[in-house]
Structure 1
Amino acid sequence: SEMEQTFRAVTRTPGIIIWRIEKMELVPVPEKSHGNFFEGDCYLLLCVSVPQELHHNLIYSIHYWIGSEASQDEQGAAAIYAVQLDDFLGSSPVQYREVQHNESNTFCGYFKQGVIYKQGGVSSGMKHVVTNSSDVQRLLHVKGQRKVSAKEVEMSWSSFNLGDVFLLDIGKTIIQWNGPNSNTQERLKAMLLAKDIRDRERGGRAEIGLIEGDAEDKSPSLMEAVCGVIGPRPSSLPNGTSDEQADREQMSQVTLYHVSDADGEMKVREVASRPLVQDLLNHDDCYIVDQGGVRLFIWKGKKANKAEKQAAMSRAVEFIKQKGYPHSTNVEVVHDGAESALFKQLFQSWSVKDQTVGMGRTSNVGRIAKVTQEKFDATTLHVMPEVAAQQRMVDDGSGQVTVWRIENLELAEVEKELHGYFYGGDCYLILYTYEVNGKKNYLLYMWLGRHASQDEITACAFQAVTVDQQYGNQPVQVRVTMGKEPRHFMAMFKGRMVVFEGGTSRKSEVVEEPPVRFFQVSGTDSYNTKAIEVPAVAASLNSNDVFVLKSQNSLFLWYGKGSSGDERAMAKEMSAFLGRGLLEEIMAEGQEPIEFWQLLGGKTPYASDKRLQQAMTDHQPRLFECSNKTGKFIVTEISQFTQDDLNETDVMLLDTWDQVFLWIGSQANDTEKKESITTCQEYLRTHPGMRDPDTPIVLIKQGFEPPTFTGWFLAWDPSKWSGGKTYDQLREELGIVTEAVTISSSNTNNSAGRVVNVHLYPQSSILYHLSSILFSLSSILHPLGYQSGSADDCNRVYDPFPLEQLIHKTAEELPEGVDPACREKHLSNEEFFSVFQMSKDEFAGLPQWRQLNSKKKHGLF
């Protein structure tokens, strides 16, 4: 058929296919022109990709792109072709509506070096041609750090400004001009774009020159060439506008609408708002999910009629008009059963029937609850980091374990025979040491009891920094809250991990043992088993689980009817660990002796329904960049991410749903490190899926990435950080290959050719040495409201204020000029001594936590 002829380029080979709308027909765009878009045209793009689970089908994504000058007819044709391509591919692709300057992260992720907007279009005779012509003359205005775009602008100095980067492309030569106020990341992205133009469009036959806008006198020959093309440089240039980057913090306002046109008129009815649950979606209907007016999703039910499905995109456009949203609002159309990861994460939970997860785990709706698992094979973890990532395991837990308890705000090592016992009134640090290829690696867990004091939690964070320093800043830090222990944490104790609800194990505090303790045991092997103390009442029982009941003289092991053989075997080992010499009595549900019920205060109803196996949640990992390069702290999502997207000048947030990783780049600044912790907590709090705020947060430093992190990246290169290029290194490399550039008469407005010496004046080679970033105390305590000093504080002069104006005051009540975090420094020497009974110098020599406690005690915090 005609449609099949049009889409004959579609294959099962992963990659990108692009068509342009020319006279209402689809015309393929040559691969070398991918990433170039005429502003007067519309395009259709198909991405074919391989899913992370290799046994799954290929993933198809359809984008139709609307240029800022495209006609209504072309826009309509692009939308129709998108629907036809969707039908051709069996209605499985996700569809995206893209508008120039407001493309989705997914779209921009296809063009890592950036998107180039070209003036004109089909109507003005502009064509996508494959050529190495040296006759090109154009000026590109480069914007953005992550979503890089380059717009063709007038070849005039009036197009320049001091805040951005510009590329003058004259065929055999590409000259990059860096605005004095542009930042390093923008310059690096522009340079990579220049290289891409040289290599992809010119076949490598072009030279690249570089001018620093604040040092033009150091590149006189290059400036002469630029002025020869676009005229004399004016004495001053405008500052330029901001990048207008939207704050990409998690958009939490999510609303679900039901869409119907039963009587010929589109009607939209609000169904629910955050939190959304999957059961709200009816297979017979279509829905709109509105994410705060920033992005719309159209969900098409499997049983919805064909007319409704085909009209989905037009309905979205009409909805945008009704709501008064910008024309550029992103729209994504998803199909029932083929939803995108971005769509799924808007829901509190998302389950996929018959999905196989990890190593042999299969969930089947309608069957009883127990998961059958293949034997855990630790040998695969380091040779197959993707398995380590899926299993959340760096190894099998057989490494060296050191446990400390926070006691009097200091570290007290826990005896080996007490490893695995955790009390809800305590905080613990656990250092785990394991070897890979003869090199020691470290994990540092911070376990925070539910009933621990704020001082102990603060001291635990402080002591974590101390231990981190002692081990060369190499440990990966993992924050674990009571009851949310990750799998590897349990594996360290080999099936013998016990969590007591309250109390403490400190020898200095004698706590009377309760006469009866009741434990719920969960787990099927030594890698995932723990016992959790529950109230010693019959209502705590559950027919699907195994319980241990302990009194001073007896020990009962209770098997629920729905428990599996593996669970019972692990619970038997646990009861021996808990009993410490007591002879256990094993009983099946329904065969309990009277003493069992007496210890629980009598028999009462408890959960006894068969628990159906819940389908595993299906959430793809998401990567975000945390940066304050623009002067404002911004979180930006990165689509189609790879290891190359980890920016060493920033902090990156990797969300794998049941864990959140914070990757600290070696050149990240203090503000980014401090704000990232707060942002991570805020990200979880405001997530539209109503995430658990106690989700484990894992801190990782560049160069010390464990396989549980690297496994989420395809083809991770462990040597990258010793060979990756910074902006200055790339600049130096380009300087080597462009020492002399010949500019012919066809490249300039002058008639005579000339030889231009390109003086890049590269800095001495800035080799990158692996060094971990010390996570300062302030960066960890910042969310708690604590501040630490900096080098600048040493030279700061604090204006004196009387004690009565500083003590027991909120920050808003303090006099103007007082630093709320350092109010004690505003005291006179005499008043300071009368309050703290020591001098300011003596006070400054105290440990940070002692300073904080003393300030709180005296009302100066």
Structure 2
Amino acid sequence: KGKNSLVTLSSRGSAVDLHYWIGKDSSQDEQGAAAVYVTQLDAALGGSPVQHREVQGHESETFQSYFRHGIIYKKGGVASGFKHVETNMYNIKRLLHVKGKKHVSATEVALSWDSFNKGDVFLLDLGKVLIQWNGPSCSIGLALARSIRDSERGGRAQIGIIDNERDSPDLMQIMRMVLGERRGELRDAVPDTKADELQKANVRLYHVYEKDNDLVVQEIATRPLTQDLLQHEDCYILDQGGFKIYVWRGKASSPEEKKAAFTRAVGFIQAKGYPSSTNVEVINDGAESAMFKQLFQRWTEKNETQGLGKVYTTGKIAKVEQVKFDTTQLHARPELAAEQRMVDDASGEIEVWRIEDLEMQPVNPKMYGQFYGGDCYLVLYTYLRSGRPHYVLYMWQGRHASVDEITACALNAIELDRKYGDEAVQVRVTMGKEPRHFLAIFKGKLVIYEGGTSRAQQSGPEPAIRLFQVRGTDEVNTKATEVPARASSLNSNDVFLLSTSQVCYLWCGKGCSGDEREMAKMVADIISRRDKHTILEGQEPAEFWEALGGKAPYASEKRFQEQITHYQPRLFECSNQTGRFIMTEVVGFCQEDLDEDDVMLLDTWEEIFLWAIASAKEYLKTHPAGRDLATPIILVKQGYEPLNFTGWFNAWDPYKWSMTGKEKFLSPLFPQDSTLQENSYRDILFPVSEFALSFFPIHVVVNPVLTAGFGEIRQQLTVTLKIC
């Protein structure tokens, strides 16, 4: 607690992170000296590291992720002569106050009942015995106790758990021996002061500079932020609702400005009246962290394709190489399934229902793949994996469907899921935001009509003239979407189908490829039975323009091939127990972080995976980058995870959750042996000369009730720990 530390960690490929940690009892001089050292080390590494200012008890989730078994705050500092706990030393008596679940930290507190409260975990460390006392309203976790046992006691200490004091009389007797009798009631749980997601979403960008020896703070923009606001010649501060402060240093800014980054951040925190424990991250132009990038609506790396382009004059189209996706690699490479957002190769079976009068009505198989914006549909996809059926249930919501229909769609999805043993992966699909696998199961024949309905009794006649934009190069990624039938809807990069009462035109923009033209021809047979006339951009007959209401400017700027955005996936634990929506990020996550008692959310940017729909919607709504609320939300159930979910986790074990509840609880506590498996009790022996007399009065040690059954020669104390 009394000193500063510096942790240097290499991550994100060749990038380096420098963490500057401040103990709560450290002096201003010590903090200043550490900051100077960080600046020097940053300069020695070429100015590329991302710098983090960490304060005891308020560390960033990135910093906490380095210590997967938890952080223990030790009293004193170097000058205090504090002696750290050594491995295999058992002459120990301390009480640790444990906070957190995914990110555990422990502070040594006074060895007294006065240190306890109802909401947290307390760990009584007696050398050979570790007793974990769980408060009535706490989140139970064993990671820290296991870590102390394995790293400091050579795996030889025993762990006892107190969930209910009445059920653990032996352990409570030990605690009373050490702490004395408890007087009065325990204190209530201390409220969590963690920032909620609404607070984190309040991002503001400031230009910070010095003028006449004064610090000038000028607000530039609020959420959603765009990358072009950052100029290479300047330095900026991004304030994430007082939760965290980012300092961005432009590559062309002066050396003096770069050196003053930390100082300016601290000055900004003081000027805003934020707590001194506020996290600070200093980042460099071109070496931004994933956390920083995701605060912007879109972040483009150098030489990365730019997306859809803008409206300019004609004649600017360039050929772009089209790269086909090999679906045969999906099962062999789960990470590819995740990256491509594909469950399988889309060769399974499908059933489609339309919501009509709030009930499910089967859709004629001849109409599979045709979706109307005035309807809602349920699409059940069945495929085999390891010889057993798996299910994906898509809930497609039309843009013009009523609220009642959307609600009925969700309710019917629940009933359909139950019919298949609650094993289906549920995916909410908003019109126009169809995920890749959804496109693939219709084999390139997906047609989306702007309005109307596929019901037998339609509300009105179909339009005589319809225009469809066709995008896609193969059966995996193609769909045709109806757009307003006017010239301004055209785009030189794509193929369009103009359906009239006499003819169907295939309009081929200068930037489209041969594969795109072939896919458009296949879709054209679904949209219209009229004769097909293929026309090239610039060679349109007068009748074509007449059908569109005359010529008009349209998009013709070069558009690169659309690629899946490579944002770093992020895993969160979700909670609203305190009345606020709070998310804890799990940095550098793996399968072990998926606690079956938690609500977890995996954000891969284009898709949201979770175990509770409401949390996903709240996450999108409060995201600092102003995320699209139509992003597909996928409900994943434990034990039935699809490949496009498991592929984001390194070395996924499909049998991880096959153990029984008792095995899962006991296996981390003790080595597997027949005695433990057959009995839920284990006797722990403590030699009187080495252990017992250090903590227990002599009249307790010689108590016949405790020592019955053991000879005087060995003089050992027996304590029975109940492990349940």
- What is the rounded CA distance, in whole Å, between the counterparts of 1:496 and 1:162 in structure 2? 60
Q: Is structure 2 residue 687 aligned with structure 1 residue 740?
A: no
Q: Is structure 2 residue 645 aligned with structure 1 residue 709?
A: yes
Given the superposition, is the C-alpha separation of residues 756 and 245 from structure 1 closer, same or farther in structure 2, using an over 3 Å criterion? farther
Report 1:318-357 matches (<5 A): 318-355=267-304
- What is the rounded CA distance, in whole Å, between the counterparts of 1:633 and 1:544 in structure 2? 43
Q: Who is 1:590 aligned against?
A: 538
- What is the rounded CA distance, in whole Å, between the counterparts of 2:59 and 2:608 in structure 1? 27
Q: Who is 1:604 aligned against?
A: 552
State the 1:484 CA deviation: 0.8
Q: Is structure 2 residue 7 aligned with structure 1 residue 45?
A: yes
Asked whether the 8 Å contact 2:353–2:360 carries over to 1, the reply is yes
Q: Who is 2:352 aligned against?
A: 403
Report 1:186-205 matches (<5 A): 187=140, 189=141, 191-205=142-156
Asked whether the 8 Å contact 2:118–2:188 carries over to 1, the reply is yes
| Structure 2 residue matching 1:595: 3-state secondary structure | helix
Q: Is structure 2 residue 129 aligned with structure 1 residue 173?
A: yes
Report 1:535-554 matches (<5 A): 535-554=484-503
Write the letter of the residue equivalent to 1:48.
S
2:67 to 111, 136, 158: 111
State the 1:257 CA deviation: 0.7
Q: Who is 2:602 aligned against?
A: 654
- What is the rounded CA distance, in whole Å, between the counterparts of 1:757 and 1:373 in structure 2? 74
Per-residue deviation, residues 246-292 of structure 1 (Å, max 9, x unmatched):
24324221111112236544322111111110000011111000111
Given the superposition, is the C-alpha separation of residues 236 and 373 from structure 1 closer, same or farther in structure 2, using an over 3 Å criterion? farther
Given the superposition, is the C-alpha separation of residues 739 and 182 from structure 1 closer, same or farther in structure 2, using an over 3 Å criterion? farther
Q: Who is 1:565 aligned against?
A: 514
Report the count of equivalent residues: 693
Asked whether the 8 Å contact 1:544–1:562 carries over to 2, the reply is yes
Per-residue deviation, residues 692-712 of structure 1 (Å, max 9, x unmatched):
111111111111110111111
Q: Is structure 2 residue 153 aligned with structure 1 residue 219?
A: no
Per-residue deviation, residues 361-397 of structure 1 (Å, max 9, x unmatched):
999xxx9676534331222222221111110111121
Asked whether the 8 Å contact 1:162–1:240 carries over to 2, the reply is yes
Given the superposition, is the C-alpha separation of residues 362 and 130 from structure 1 closer, same or farther in structure 2, using an over 3 Å criterion? farther
2:219 to 270, 273, 281: 270
Write the letter of the residue equivalent to 2:599.
V
2:332 to 383, 386, 390: 383
Aligned-pair RMSD on alpha carbons?
Answer: 2.7
1:126 to 64, 69, 82: 82
Report 1:619-634 matches (<5 A): 619-628=567-576, 634=582
Taking CA–CA contacts closer than 8 Å with sequence separation of 6 or more, which of the two structures ends up with the larger relative contact order? 2
Q: Who is 2:312 aligned against?
A: none
| Structure 2 residue matching 1:684: 3-state secondary structure | helix
Report 1:165-564 matches (<5 A): 165-179=121-135, 181-183=136-138, 185=139, 187=140, 189=141, 191-212=142-163, 214-215=165-166, 218-220=168-170, 222-230=171-179, 232-250=180-198, 251-261=200-210, 263-355=212-304, 372-509=321-458, 511-564=460-513
State the 1:215 CA deviation: 1.8
- What is the rounded CA distance, in whole Å, between the counterparts of 2:262 and 2:661 in structure 1? 43
Per-residue deviation, residues 514-552 of structure 1 (Å, max 9, x unmatched):
221111111122111111111111121122221111112
Unmatched segments (≥5 aa) in structure 1: 1-38, 52-56, 664-675, 764-861
- What is the rounded CA distance, in whole Å, between the counterparts of 1:155 and 1:214 in structure 2? 18
2:110 to 143, 151, 154: 154
- What is the rounded CA distance, in whole Å, between the counterparts of 1:724 and 1:256 in structure 2? 51
State the 1:164 CA deviation: 2.6
State the 1:467 CA deviation: 1.0
Asked whether the 8 Å contact 1:741–1:755 carries over to 2, the reply is yes
| Structure 2 residue matching 1:563: 3-state secondary structure | coil
Structure 2 length normalisation: TM-score? 0.90
Report 1:79-90 matches (<5 A): 79-90=35-46
Higher mean alpha-carbon deviation, 529-538 vs 407-416, is at 407-416
- What is the rounded CA distance, in whole Å, between the counterparts of 1:105 and 1:737 in structure 2? 38
- What is the rounded CA distance, in whole Å, between the counterparts of 2:350 and 2:564 in structure 1? 31
- What is the rounded CA distance, in whole Å, between the counterparts of 2:48 and 2:353 in structure 1? 53
| Structure 2 residue matching 1:297: 3-state secondary structure | strand
Q: Who is 2:673 aligned against?
A: none
Given the superposition, is the C-alpha separation of residues 167 and 330 from structure 1 closer, same or farther in structure 2, using an over 3 Å criterion? same
Write the letter of the residue equivalent to 1:524.
T
- What is the rounded CA distance, in whole Å, between the counterparts of 2:329 and 2:43 in structure 1? 41
- What is the rounded CA distance, in whole Å, between the counterparts of 2:669 and 2:21 in structure 1? 36
Per-residue deviation, residues 29-69 of structure 1 (Å, max 9, x unmatched):
xxxxxxxxxx00111112223x4xxxxx3342211110111
| Structure 1 residue matching 2:165: 3-state secondary structure | coil
- What is the rounded CA distance, in whole Å, between the counterparts of 2:559 and 2:308 in structure 1? 16
| Structure 2 residue matching 1:443: 3-state secondary structure | strand
- What is the rounded CA distance, in whole Å, between the counterparts of 2:193 and 2:622 in structure 1? 20
Asked whether the 8 Å contact 2:373–2:398 carries over to 1, the reply is yes
Given the superposition, is the C-alpha separation of residues 407 and 475 from structure 1 closer, same or farther in structure 2, using an over 3 Å criterion? same
Per-residue deviation, residues 547-577 of structure 1 (Å, max 9, x unmatched):
1111122111111112233322222222233
Report 1:779-790 matches (<5 A): none
Given the superposition, is the C-alpha separation of residues 710 and 728 from structure 1 closer, same or farther in structure 2, using an over 3 Å criterion? closer
| Structure 2 residue matching 1:575: 3-state secondary structure | helix
Higher mean alpha-carbon deviation, 238-247 vs 626-635, is at 626-635
Per-residue deviation, residues 465-488 of structure 1 (Å, max 9, x unmatched):
111011111110111111111111
| Structure 2 residue matching 1:461: 3-state secondary structure | helix
Asked whether the 8 Å contact 2:196–2:581 carries over to 1, the reply is no
| Structure 1 residue matching 2:453: 3-state secondary structure | coil
- What is the rounded CA distance, in whole Å, between the counterparts of 2:191 and 2:515 in structure 1? 58
Given the superposition, is the C-alpha separation of residues 511 and 162 from structure 1 closer, same or farther in structure 2, using an over 3 Å criterion? closer
Given the superposition, is the C-alpha separation of residues 686 and 211 from structure 1 closer, same or farther in structure 2, using an over 3 Å criterion? closer
Structure 1 length normalisation: TM-score? 0.76
Report 1:769-780 matches (<5 A): none
Given the superposition, is the C-alpha separation of residues 81 and 157 from structure 1 closer, same or farther in structure 2, using an over 3 Å criterion? same
Given the superposition, is the C-alpha separation of residues 163 and 498 from structure 1 closer, same or farther in structure 2, using an over 3 Å criterion? closer
Write the letter of the residue equivalent to 2:486.
V
Per-residue deviation, residues 85-132 of structure 1 (Å, max 9, x unmatched):
323333332211110111111111122222111111111012557532
Asked whether the 8 Å contact 2:573–2:586 carries over to 1, the reply is yes
Q: Who is 1:682 aligned against?
A: 618
- What is the rounded CA distance, in whole Å, between the counterparts of 1:483 and 1:90 in structure 2? 46
Asked whether the 8 Å contact 1:653–1:660 carries over to 2, the reply is yes
Asked whether the 8 Å contact 1:211–1:760 carries over to 2, the reply is no
Asked whether the 8 Å contact 1:356–1:362 carries over to 2, the reply is no
| Structure 2 residue matching 1:716: 3-state secondary structure | coil
| Structure 2 residue matching 1:739: 3-state secondary structure | strand
